[in-house]
Amino acid sequence: MRKDVRILLVGEPKVGKTSLIMSLVSEEFPEVVPYRAEEITIPADVTPERVPTHIVDYSEAEQTDEQLFQEISKANVICIVYSVNNKKSIEKVTSHWIPLITDNTDKDSRVPLILVGNKSDLVEHSSMETILPIMNQYSEIETCVECSAKNLKNISELFYYAQKAVLHPTGPLYCPEKKCMRTLCVKALTRIFKVSDLDNDGILNDNELNFFQRTCFNTPLDPQALDDVKNVVKKNLSDGVRDNGLTLKGFLFLHTLFIQRGRHETTWTVLRRFGYDDDLELNQDYLFPLLKVPPDCTTELNHNAYLFLQSVFDKHDKDRDCALSPDELSDVFDVFPYMPWGPDVNNTVCTNEQGWVTYQGFLSQWTLTTYLDVQRCLEYLGYLGYSIIAEQESQASGITVTRAKKIDLQKKQTQRNVFRCNVFGDIASGKSGFLQAFLGKNLKRQKTIREEHRSYYAISTTYVYGQEKYLLLHEVFPDFDYLTDADLACDVVCLVYDTSNPYSFEYCAKVFKHYFMESKIPCMMVAAKSDLPEVKQMYGCSPLEFCRRHKMPPPQSFTCNTSTAPSKDIYTKLATMAMYPHARLRCMCTCNRCTFCLCQNFLNSELLQTIRAKLYAVVLRRHVSQADLKSSTFWLKAGAGATAFAVLGFAVYRVLLKQR
């Protein structure tokens, strides 16, 4: 919102400029006035629009042309005053004043003009007949008003119109020649309609209208007013009201009506509430609220933001198949100025058989954007109207900035929900296959991916000791000499080699020795393409020996050449290593027969979940208040007692075995 309004009065000498100002201030007509009134400032609380307002007089006798030009360029609105009983002063409006103002103002920043006919007490007739053609000729003329400094007629109105012309200009909203709203205004209101149509049925029902009214004007509409609004629309427009709700057509009609009746501040209030500036663009402060992300910290969506995105998904998944078809997806992004997701997204997150982004995939992609480019995420949430619908201060309140990783490492505990795994490996070692398998695609399905649609990221969720976490895989381009800091920064490293290619392992060994041997980041070696015959690697020692020497888990066999979706065990392990970098996971096999595997599976099993939930309930009833319950710290602490659960798991497991 604007800080203040500067109103300048110009016009021929003796038309009554100074008298108008003095009349406004003293509320009586001054018989004697100086050539020029001092600049006055009206404090915000006594003006109708609650903004400080400066009123500036001009006098040819006291001021030079240079001074006049300066005042013109400083003004937010200019009142051109003429005297209704003086034809010459009217002629000068077009022959002198308007061209002078045009010459002394920026071409882009249009200053609104108001034509003021003073001394209406002296004549019987109105000057409107002469003035209307002028108004039609110049679109910068916002309005005209006849008044009298002597009778105090229309004086406060005049200054109110001037204020309004600055704060709520009609120009950007409405085209007086065509008698309809301008394209940009229609576009903005259409977006507002779509955001407010919470169930996406193309109609604003009473609930939605009330919510809309409350967010824009801080008060709900009473039922009578609601009916009145609908009746007005119904009377004028056959398809403005449907199923007792307002259609988009009806909504746009209503705003046209507001504007035509001089109530365009109503439309402006709506537009501003939804983030629009005077040019009807979403303003930068709205799209990019301040969010500080210190180094070593990452950004994640919080619970509130996920709930909101969930509602966005539900609203657009019209056929309820838990996936967004191309049409449904483009409907989601209809409130965006451009399509934010390319076809690569379908190869970055989980999709259904048709290749459409699933519910889980939808949230994953948002998680990825938040993690990699939080500014973009703020912008996107802004287009969706997050702060308005979720009733939050700004999009920034949907973001959690995690604490520095250094501190996580010191405390051996983390509250993060997203972990990044960078995947290294020589050309054709199987990195992409490894990424795509995380999304449930086997080799056969991967072959259908077009080169230009491929992605270097894959993100999905996996369970770490019963807690759902996001794992973000990033395929690093195998150019040994050009690894950037971003390529190296991650929570866990995955080194992929092709078991069937004898020259494949060397790259992994080289990357490890050069970049990660000294770092504290846990590393995992993956022996990809394990469906093919294994060959001896041309390297000083075997991969197994290499891992043993460097205290890494043994190489993990992996293949995505499966008949069904590839196994996800390996990703769970990666996420576990990322979350607990200190822990030495004894067994890294995927046999599903040994104690570790059984234990891991058991921990995730339904039975244990129930037991655990019951245990929580008991513990909670004793110690934990409702507030603690909500805080993720508590859950993490409870979860981080993983060892305790492992022991517990064992106990129950043994009991079960005995029973068998």
Question: By C-beta, is 79 or 287 nearer to Mg ion?
Answer: 79
Residue 19 site contact among Mg ion, ligand GDP, none (CB < 5 to 8 Å, cut-off depends on kind): ligand GDP
What residues are paired with 9 via a beta bridge? Answer: 79
* Contact of 210 with 218, CB cutoff 8 Å: no
Number of residues that bind ligand GDP (CB under 6 A): 16
Of 142-150, 328-336, 414-422, 450-458, the window that binds ligand GDP (rule: CB under 6 A) is: 142-150
- Least gap, CB of 96 to ligand GDP (angstroms): 14
- Least gap, CB of 18 to Mg ion (angstroms): 3
- Least gap, CB of 14 to ligand GDP (angstroms): 4
Give the nearest residue (CB) to ligand GDP: 16
CA distances (Å), origin 272, targets 282, 362, 631 = 9, 29, 35
Question: By C-beta, is 63 or 567 nearer to ligand GDP?
Answer: 63
Of 64-72, 148-156, 306-314, 379-387, the window that binds ligand GDP (rule: CB under 6 A) is: 148-156
- Least gap, CB of 55 to Mg ion (angstroms): 13
DSSP 195-264: HH-TT-SSEE-HHHHHHHHHHHHSSPPPHHHHHHHHHHHHHH-TTSEETTEEEHHHHHHHHHHHHHTT-H
Q: How far apart (Å, rounded) are the C-alpha atoms in residues 163 and 383?
A: 30
- Least gap, CB of 39 to Mg ion (angstroms): 13
Interacting residues with Mg ion (CB under 5 A): 17-18, 35, 59
Q: Which listed residue (53, 118, 417, 422) binds ligand GDP by CB under 6 A?
A: 118
Binding mask 424-443 for ligand GDP (x = CB under 6 A): --------------------
Residue 148 site contact among Mg ion, ligand GDP, none (CB < 5 to 8 Å, cut-off depends on kind): ligand GDP
Residue 461 is a binding residue for ligand GDP (CB under 6 A):
no
CA distances (Å), origin 312, targets 192, 194, 215, 230, 309 = 15, 11, 18, 27, 5
Residue 118 site contact among ligand GDP, Mg ion, none (CB < 5 to 8 Å, cut-off depends on kind): ligand GDP
Residue type, 25: V
Question: By C-beta, is 32 or 627 nearer to Mg ion?
Answer: 32
Q: How far apart (Å, rounded) are the C-alpha atoms in residues 364 and 460?
A: 6
- Least gap, CB of 332 to ligand GDP (angstroms): 58
Q: Which listed residue (67, 88, 122, 591) binds ligand GDP by CB under 6 A?
A: 122
β-pair type (492-498, 467-475): unpaired
Question: By C-beta, is 12 or 208 nearer to ligand GDP?
Answer: 12
Question: By C-beta, is 14 or 654 nearer to ligand GDP?
Answer: 14
Could you tell me the two tokens for 327?
A: 């049409």
Angle (nearest 5°) at CA 85 between 84 and 86: 95
Give the nearest residue (CB) to Mg ion: 18
Site for ligand GDP in 14-73 (CB under 6 A): 14-19, 33
Of 114-122, 178-186, 265-273, 387-395, the window that binds ligand GDP (rule: CB under 6 A) is: 114-122
Dmax (CA) of the chain: 110
* Contact of 600 with 465, CB cutoff 8 Å: no
* Contact of 54 with 40, CB cutoff 8 Å: yes
Burial of 485 (0-12, 13-18, 19+ CB in 10 A): exposed
Residues 254-289 as b/e (b if ≥16 CB within 10 A, e otherwise) read bbbbbbeeeebbbbbebbbbbbbebebebeeebbbb
Could you tell me the two tokens for 115?
A: 């034509």
Residues at the interface with ligand GDP (CB under 6 A): 11, 13-19, 33, 118-119, 121-122, 148-150
